[in-house]
Structures are given as structure tokens and as C-alpha cells.
Amino acid sequence: MTEPATPSEPSDQTTLSHVRADGSAHMVDVSDKAVTDRSATATATVVTRPDVVARILDGSLPKGEVIGTARIAAIMAVKKTSDLIPLCHPLPIAGVQVDITGTDDRVLIEVAVRTTSRTGVEMEALTGASVAALTVYDMVKAVDRAASITDIRVLEKHGGRTGDWSNR
């Protein structure tokens, strides 16, 4: 495993992979990359009032069961990432693990995605966490319009040319 990176650590890549010499965007050709096991985990946080978190956990919100709905939304979003993010490759998703917990004034969402492919699943994990957070917000806005979504980020990735990376 490589050393953990810091959020401000620059990439060792000197050119932008999704930009051609003329400045136009394009999808990266990954056909020369090895097919390997890859995984990524991303997180998002929904900040709301403690009483709303309690209602999420006990299932008593007006729109229904938040955690199960957000979990399904995350899985669906992971599978549709290449339809949402213009230059992402469609990937065969091997597995998605979604953990949603509540504490104090926060709903913590963690999405882990696995594939065996030529490119990583960081964008899929981020999309899953983001859509789960949007789903939580949608379901709590009737009782807390001031709820907010924060801290969407990749926690770790494994596999591929650049190896393992962690920001936990």
C-alpha cells in the first residue's frame, strides 16, 4: 500500500487526460490498460437537526423510510454514473456497499464500489454518495429546509496503475 495522500497533494500527471492538444474534451482511451480488480469508497454528509436524525433512524418522517430509500438511490446512481458524468466509461459493477448512519446532527453516507475493469470506480462511488445525500435531503426538507449536504469526497481507492490511496 502506498502512503496516504493529502487533499492538496499534486498529481504526478503533467497533462490533463480528458483534454486533447487543441483544448477539446474527449473520452480517454483505456484499451491499453490492464483489466484489474479496483475499488473506491466515497462519503457524503447531510447536516440537519438532532431531532430530524432521530426521526430518520426511527422511520417516522412524513416521506417514509429514509435510509432504505437512500441506499437504493445510491446503488441506482452508481449503475448510471456514465449516463450522468459525460466522460466516464460505463463499467461492469461487481458490487456496491452502502452504509448510512446517523449521529447527533448528521447523517453519514459511505458508498464502496468494486469492479474488475480497465479504469477505476471513484466517480461511481462519488455519484452514489452524492445521490444518496440528495435523497436524504429530499426526504427531510419538509421538516428541515436548512439541512445541508457537505463533505463529499473519496475516502480511498484500490487497484489500477496508481495503486492504493487513502484519505481516511
Question: Is the CB of residue 107 less than 8 Å from the CB of residue 25?
Answer: no
3-state secondary structure 142-158: CCCCCCEEEEEEEEEEE
Element (H, E) at 127: helix 122-140
Would you say 38 and 118 are in contact if contact means Cβ atoms under 8 Å apart?
A: no
In sign, the C-alpha dihedral spanning 118, 121, 122, 126 is positive
The C-alpha torsion from 129 through 133 and 139 to 141, rounded to 10°, is: -170
Q: List, by residue number, the catalytic residues.
A: 138
